[in-house]
Structures are given as C-alpha cells and as structure tokens.
Structure 1
Amino acid sequence: MILTNPISASEVGTLWLTYEEKTLIMRMLEYFIEKSDDQQAKNLLGGLWQELNFYVLQMEQIFKDQGMVKPIGYSSEDVNLEAPKLFDNGFDVMFLRILKEVSMGMYTINMNMAYNDKVMQIYEGLTTVTQKIYKLSTLYLLERGILTLPPKVTMPKTTEFIENKSYMKGFKIVGDKRALNDIELGLLHHGIETNNIGMQLITGFAQCAKHKEVKEYFVKGKKLAKKQIKTMEEILLDSDVQFSATSGSTVTTSTIAPFSDKLMMHCVYLLNGFGLVASSFGSFFCLRNDISMKLTLLAKDVYFYGQEGVKIKIKNGWFEEPPQMEDRANIIKNN
C-alpha cells in the first residue's frame, strides 16, 4: 500500500515520545483518581484522563495507518490500584500541575517539528487541554492554600535602562550585590516550587521501590532536590526575600508500590529533562553572573543524575528504543 500522506522522521520521533509520556501519565492518573477523596480533584483528574485517552487513540490510528508498530508505553501492569495512598493533601493536583508545565514545553517543540496536518492537530489539541488543566489546577490549589504565591513587589513607576556593566556582577569582593530583578526572583521561586514537589515525589518513590539500585537512585535524587532548593533559597535570603515553600501536600508512610519501578524511573527521567531545560533557561535570563553560575552548576548535576538513571533503565530492560533511520553502512557491509 502506498501512503498518500506519510509522516516524517521527526514526527515519528515526537509521536513516539508523546505516546510514552501520555500512557505514563494515564496510569498515574488512574491511581490518583482511585485514591482521591476530593470530588473536585477527581473530576479534574478524570477529565484529563478522558482527554488524553482520545489523543492516545488518535496516535495509535496514525501508527496503524503508517504501518508503524506502536510503542509499548505503560499499561495496567505498571500500576497497582490496590496500593494504599502514597501521597496526600493535594499532592495529586500539585503533581498534575507540574506535569502540565512539562507538557506545555514539549508540545511547543513537537509542533515546531510537525508538518503533517493530523500530527499538528494532535499537538494543537493537546496544547489546549494542557493550558486548561494547568489553569484549573492552579486555581484549585490556591483556593485550598496549598500553592504558595511568589513574593509581592513594589510596582515600577518609571522606565529605566541598564547603564553600567556592574549590573551583571554578583561576585563582588567589596560592597553589596544589587537586588534581584523580578525576572530572577520569578525564576528562583519557580525553581524552589518545582524542586519541592519533585522531592516529595521521589521520597514516595524511594519508600516503595523494589530494586535496591532504583531505591538508592531515588534517595540520591532527593538529596539533589534538597541541594537545589537550598541554593535558591540562599540567593533569595541574601536579597532579603523570604520564601515559604509549598507545604500542603505530604508523603504517607506507605511502602507498597502503586507503580512499577520501570514507570517511576521513566517519570523521573522526564522530570530530569524538564529540570535541565528550566535550569538552562534560568541561567541565561538571570543577569547577575553569580546566579547564572550557580544555576549552570545545578544543571550539570541534573544532567549527570539523569545519565545515571538512563543506565539503570537500560540495564533492567526498561528503556524502549526509539525508532531510528536505516543503518546504511551496515546494510552495505552485510550485503
């Protein structure tokens, strides 16, 4: 059969990644829906599951039409709905909000690599869903006092321009560093917020991981999240900015795994990628060189931590190989 509208290599790759991510999120949503005792949260989680299921089916149809095997992704084997609550007090919606932050960035990149109308429609639709859920999640958490707002500042009354190169200097032997600008403050607040949720997530994962190597990896990730939070809080305190980290959600004492080690490792893999991009973005747009340097060093730590996780996934046969181009050199050699 000759395809009238074949998809490109870049679209195969992005659809493959999206399918993996969506099937993982759906399994986690199923557990959170099962354990939620708040009807509004259940509606939010359930509504997203329905939306994602629609687009997962659309992707499967594209795979079928293109004669492409669909990724294995994550199935009912990767979630235990009978496991007790591992997280409580709004963590499900807090984590959902973080996932939607990750998704928004991914859809932008994926749309930029799409040329097929059906593929573009998928990313356009998923973007709309993600923005809606992100807004509803934020409002839900604010209403319950679980989410901490960034610090308030005095509104600017005049327009100013940077007149001196010393504006960028944070490494000063004599004199005080300049105050944080609002862009830097916002980036640091966001970094603390996301790392705090990541620390709670990975603490829960460490409690219930079955493989010793995986458990140790999650404990290491917890320490890394603490290091990042401490670094960013110190920068804020040096500028007399007090930050109250999100404290509403909690990890229970359960040690029964709601998810497979394979799923938990891939979840952390996705969040590592998000953290690496966020740190790189922050280091570029912070105009004080001491902050840029610290965020760059944190990004380095996340990168090496992520690489360690990839090796564990490969070692245990948990890393499904992405589609790839034909190895022409090997074909010619073996002919």
Structure 2
Amino acid sequence: MPERSAITSSELGVLWLTYQEDTMILRILEYFIEKADDEKAKEIMNNLYGEIDSYVGIIKETLENEGAVIPIGFTTQDVKKEVPKLYDNGFDIMFVRLLKQISMGLHSLNITMTYREDIVLIIKELTTIAQKYYNLCTQYLLKKGLLVKSPHVSMPTSVEFVKDKHYLSGLSANPFSEKRSLNTVEVAQIHHSIESNITGLQMIIGFAQCANTEDVKNYFNEGAELAKSMVKELSEIFLQSGLQAPQTAGGNATRSTLAPFSDKLMLYCTSLFCSFSMGSGSLGTAFSLRNDLPAKITIFMKDIFEYAHKGAKIMIKNGWMEEPPQMEERNQMLK
C-alpha cells in the first residue's frame, strides 16, 4: 500500500477552519436542542448534531495523526444550556438553516483547496450533510408558514436578447428617469439577501440584549442597525418594481437577558455571518446587470467589512481570536 502523503498547508487551513465552524455549530445546537418545544425541530437538530459531531472527531483524529495540535475551537465553556430561551417562534430552525447555507458555501470552496483523498472525502461528505439539513430546515419552515418564497413570475414564452444599453441603466443624474424592472436573477439575489439579513437581524438583537460586556453589547447594537438599513434599502428596491419584500412572523428574541453563549462564540458567529454576507454580495454584483444594484451592494460590502474588522479588534483585545497555523518564518530562520 503506498505511503499517504503529508497534508499540505491549505489542507491544514481547511481542517482548522472546519473544526472552528463545526465546534461552534455543535455548541449552538446543544442549546437549541435543550430548549426545543417542537419535536420535529428537535429531531432535525439532534440528527444534525450526531452527524457533525462524528466528523469533528474525524478531523481531530486526522490532525493528531499528522502531529498537529488540536485547535480549541468552541467547547462546553462557550454554552450555558440552563439559561432561559433567548429565541422563540421557530428561530432555532431558521438559524440552523442559515448556518447550513454558510456551510455549503465554505465546503464548496474548501474542496477546491484539498488534494489528499481522505480529506477531500471529509469535505465532500460534510457538503452532503449541509445540503441535506438545509433542505430539511427549508421544508420544515415552509410547512410551518415561517418562510416566504420569492415572488412568482409569468413564464417566458420566447427568447429575448438585450437590444440597447438602457438595459444596464439604473444610475442617472435624473432621479425621475425610469429604471427597467428587475430580472429574475436580480430578484433571486435581492430576495436571498433580505431573507438572510432578517434572520441575522433577529440573531444579533438577541446577542445584544444578553452580551456580557459593554463593548460587545454596543458592537451587536451597531450590527443590528446595519442589518436594518440593508433590509430597508433592499426592500425599497423590490417595492419600486412592484414586488413584495419577504417578511416572516417567525423567529424573535424573547425578554431573556441571560447569555446562552459566550461573547467569544457570539462574536465568531457574527464574523462568520459577515463573511457570508460579503461573499453573497460579490455574487450579487457579478450577476446584477442594472448598474444601480452593484453600486448599492458595494457600499453594503464596505460597511460590512468595516463592521467585521471592528469585531476582530474586540476579539483580539479580549484574547478570543484563535490564531490559525502559521507558515515558517523563513526570513527569521535565515537570520
């Protein structure tokens, strides 16, 4: 049997990041499972927990076999299952659904940076798990009436081609100039962004009211205002095209002010959501052909980046940011 090659720097980075994300998800699931009052939701989360936990073990074993130190990630110190419910009305599955959206994106990117067959298989199987539970969460929320589908549209009856540059117009010195209606690709991007930001807003409102330190509380309050402004401006774009912006009666923070998660975990989760939002924004700018849309999304991305950078500074100040494995300092070694 041929000797297995050592893992590469990118594979080590992929395993390290996956361990961070999945140990965070396990802690979140532990709390939501403890507080679940719907048996179907509890079943979905219990099954997801079991599958993720087994792969956290596999990643840990892989790193140990390579002689690499095991990351701390997120442990039982980062969750308090005994505190009252922080969220209600289906938010647990709404939150898990968004986490699995993020997982699908990360795993799809990570698999392009891995080479060794056993590591490729780990990421491939985690991708399958993410897709499976994203769908289970989606169908659960639809059945409960807690998820709004994107608008319906009349089916096209002929193939059309863009005939003039007016198709790209959206920015104009004349505020009364007519913009073309949104196409279905643009509707999909905007609807997804509104939907994600509504869940993110509900999440961060809960984080703000239970954060343990004042600077973290203020940071989450700032994030809530940013999410509100994005939902408001994107919804107005829909309304200008005669479309109803997605709204849901599901998922809300309770009156509890006791934190189920450590500030470290809540900040990391917020950072993950910011990264996801910037990635989605990049796709939005690439596929939106009405030139006012990329301009607006680019401003959002700048604001999100600056907000995420501020969160990173708070984590560093408090000693909560675990450092990824480093490459050798060749210049120092040569000296």
More displaced 10-residue stretch of structure 1: 173-182 or 309-318:
173-182
Q: Does 2:74 correspond to 1:65?
A: no
2:150/2:246 contact within 8 Å kept: no
2:191/2:246 contact within 8 Å kept: no
3-state SS of paired residue (1:53): helix
Q: Deviations over 1:121-150 (max 9, x none)?
A: 101110111111011100000000000111
Q: Does 2:255 correspond to 1:253?
A: yes
* Amino acid paired to 1:106: L
* Amino acid paired to 1:50: G
2:123 is matched with which residue? 123
Identify which of 321, 325, 331 aligns with 1:329. 331
Task: State the shift of 1:332 in Å.
Answer: 2.0
Q: Does 2:134 correspond to 1:137?
A: no
* Amino acid paired to 1:101: Q
State how far apart, in whole Å, the 1-side matches of 2:323 and 2:171 are: 45
2:33 is matched with which residue? 33
Identify which of 178, 190, 193 aligns with 2:180. 178
Task: State the shift of 1:231 in Å.
Answer: 1.0
Q: Does 2:50 correspond to 1:50?
A: yes
Following TM superposition, the consecutive aligned residue runs of length 4 or more in structure 1 with deviations greater than 3 angstroms are none
State how far apart, in whole Å, the 1-side matches of 2:310 and 2:331 are: 30
2:83 is matched with which residue? 83
Q: Does 2:107 correspond to 1:103?
A: no
State how far apart, in whole Å, the 2-side matches of 1:244 and 1:18 are: 31
Q: Deviations over 1:189-228 (max 9, x none)?
A: 1111000000000000000001110000000000000010
State how far apart, in whole Å, the 1-side matches of 2:310 and 2:334 are: 35
2:148 is matched with which residue? 148
* Amino acid paired to 2:291: N
* Amino acid paired to 1:208: C
Q: Deviations over 1:101-160 (max 9, x none)?
A: 100010011100000111011011101111110111000000000001111111111000
* Amino acid paired to 2:280: A
State how far apart, in whole Å, the 1-side matches of 2:66 and 2:246 are: 51
2:280 is matched with which residue? 278
State how far apart, in whole Å, the 1-side matches of 2:171 and 2:76 are: 53
Q: Deviations over 1:259-312 (max 9, x none)?
A: 000000000010010001111110121100011100110011001100111111
Aligned-pair Cα RMSD in Å: 0.9
Task: State the shift of 1:96 in Å.
Answer: 0.6
**Which runs of 5 or more residues in structure 1 are unaligned?**
none
2:207/2:220 contact within 8 Å kept: yes
Identify which of 290, 298, 301 aligns with 1:299. 301
Task: State the shift of 1:330 in Å.
Answer: 1.1
2:194/2:246 contact within 8 Å kept: no
* Amino acid paired to 1:82: E
State how far apart, in whole Å, the 1-side matches of 2:164 and 2:249 are: 40
* Amino acid paired to 2:284: G
* Amino acid paired to 1:249: G
Q: Deviations over 1:163-185 (max 9, x none)?
A: 11110010232631100001111
1:216 is matched with which residue? 218
2:316 is matched with which residue? 314
State how far apart, in whole Å, the 2-side matches of 1:124 and 1:171 are: 42
Q: Does 2:176 correspond to 1:165?
A: no
State how far apart, in whole Å, the 2-side matches of 1:52 and 1:106 are: 15
State how far apart, in whole Å, the 2-side matches of 1:143 and 1:135 are: 12
1:202 is matched with which residue? 204
Q: Deviations over 1:227-279 (max 9, x none)?
A: 10011011111111122412211110000000000000000010010001111
State how far apart, in whole Å, the 2-side matches of 1:34 and 1:5 are: 42
User: Aligned residue pairs: how many?
Assistant: 331
2:195/2:246 contact within 8 Å kept: no
State how far apart, in whole Å, the 2-side matches of 1:17 and 1:112 are: 14
2:103/2:130 contact within 8 Å kept: yes
State how far apart, in whole Å, the 2-side matches of 1:203 and 1:175 are: 38
1:10 is matched with which residue? 10
State how far apart, in whole Å, the 1-side matches of 2:31 and 2:293 are: 39
3-state SS of paired residue (1:140): helix
